[in-house]
Structure 1
């Protein structure tokens, strides 16, 4: 079992399992996420990252195992567990015919927050995420980076203890990526916990203090970034070693080096 020395756990996963047909997407993993950490969940495509996050957020029913969010069981007490989290899932469908401001207003009221408080928080989030100028623009007309930012704003609006983000920087321009990174750093500095799923090692190494490497539906390694990196110069090198990336054969594709003339 993977664990860390900490006085409190934001997320506690035990025996989490999900099978599709005869294939185990997640094969009975145990994982602890310390409260207040910036936690990276990394792995190659098909490693089980998205499936794990989907089960951890209550979007997908596991075949076995438990997930506790701040002590609340996601399946025995889903209302309490989901109250503690904000989620940015992969491929989330948005309210395309609402403006950015309207989407946040609707989301906040759906969460049961007082209208005046929703409006105040939404205004601050739109400003900090550099969306104030697009607050009256339809979400359908937002760029990829803008859509990521408005979704992050909706996830943070109710001031959750934990944010679970699936590939939050994918297809995002450098300016938007910097804004999102800065907001997430401020969030963890204030005591919040971020779980970020990504296959971009440089991003994880830059942002995260703890990391878990998934491969084949299992946890290959977990702990502080420096510990997982070990003797390797970069996290990416340790990652490639852990997942057993095949070495390229110099003899293959030799025809690419010849002229087609």
Structure 2
């Protein structure tokens, strides 16, 4: 059971961050509750990855307060991390290990018994139709297979708070549907999921709350239906483009295609 006040899992108060003189985060206030799937979106450079790394305890030097499970992470020890799962956008994975070795190792890092971690990893690999490669080296895996191993590694220890940064990279359509259903069922059982992606239609379908970050601050926060009502746009992509001020995509595409086809007209 999550030890938090009234189901609050995560709280950011006036979160700021500067890198080499540049203000990356300009004062984020955010409360996240048990069972929510947060779609965390924004253009490149908006501060999404910085926010995630601060919450994960990977970056310090920030201003403001970050509370996870009711603890100020600047003052608490590392034990809160045992209840967190994470899939990084560009995750490093030990290619020379087998899937069994890697997942058992990750499980032990989170304090799991070795035999339990290995058995649970084997069962999860089987659910992804990967039982036959459980003892194969990860170096022989396709991108999609590696991504499934990373997803398993983030969930193996039964975390209460899960951070996913572009978790569907390299997955086929069937696998995407499975992961979507897994996330919905985890949330229904009280897990909290922080989902960051550039794939707007997936964020729209998965999230029950969407937070849009622009220039280091929150520009929109609500359900898809609430954001659609406010913006009068029919899709999350349309809402995103309106709020970020990006309306040149069609013109850019036309100019790009004109250049591509210019050779044909000159023949």
* TM-score of the pair, normalised by structure 2: 0.88
CA contact (8 A) 2:213 2:220 kept: yes
Q: CA separation of 1:249/1:224 partners in 2, compared to 1, >3 Å: closer, same or farther?
A: closer
Shift of residue 123, structure 1, vs aligned partner: 2.1
SS in 2 for 1:179: helix
RMSD over aligned CA atoms reads 2.2
CA contact (8 A) 2:147 2:170 kept: no
C-alpha distance in structure 2 between counterparts of 1:111 and 1:248, whole Å:
44
Aligned to 1:85: 84
Aligned to 1:247: 248
Q: CA separation of 1:62/1:165 partners in 2, compared to 1, >3 Å: closer, same or farther?
A: farther
Aligned to 2:25: 26
2:63 is the alignment partner of 1:57: no
Shift of residue 249, structure 1, vs aligned partner: 8.6
Aligned to 2:137: 138
CA contact (8 A) 1:72 1:80 kept: no
2:153 is the alignment partner of 1:147: no
Aligned to 1:10: 9
SS in 2 for 1:204: helix
Aligned to 1:117: 116
Shift of residue 7, structure 1, vs aligned partner: 3.3
C-alpha distance in structure 1 between counterparts of 2:136 and 2:154, whole Å:
19
C-alpha distance in structure 2 between counterparts of 1:78 and 1:166, whole Å:
24
Moved more, 44-53 or 107-116: 107-116
Aligned to 1:238: 239
Aligned to 2:106: 107
C-alpha distance in structure 2 between counterparts of 1:137 and 1:179, whole Å:
23
SS in 2 for 1:226: helix
Q: Deviations over 1:72-102 (max 9, x none)?
A: 2222114232122111112121121111111
C-alpha distance in structure 2 between counterparts of 1:78 and 1:15, whole Å:
22
Moved more, 242-251 or 145-154: 242-251
| Aligned counterparts, 1:156-235, within 5 A | 156-230=155-229, 231-235=232-236
C-alpha distance in structure 2 between counterparts of 1:47 and 1:172, whole Å:
26
Moved more, 231-240 or 174-183: 174-183
C-alpha distance in structure 1 between counterparts of 2:55 and 2:127, whole Å:
28
C-alpha distance in structure 2 between counterparts of 1:248 and 1:82, whole Å:
40
Unmatched runs of 5 consecutive residues or more in structure 2: none
Shift of residue 166, structure 1, vs aligned partner: 0.6
Aligned to 1:260: 266
Q: CA separation of 1:219/1:176 partners in 2, compared to 1, >3 Å: closer, same or farther?
A: same
SS in 2 for 1:7: helix
* TM-score of the pair, normalised by structure 1: 0.90
CA contact (8 A) 2:138 2:146 kept: yes
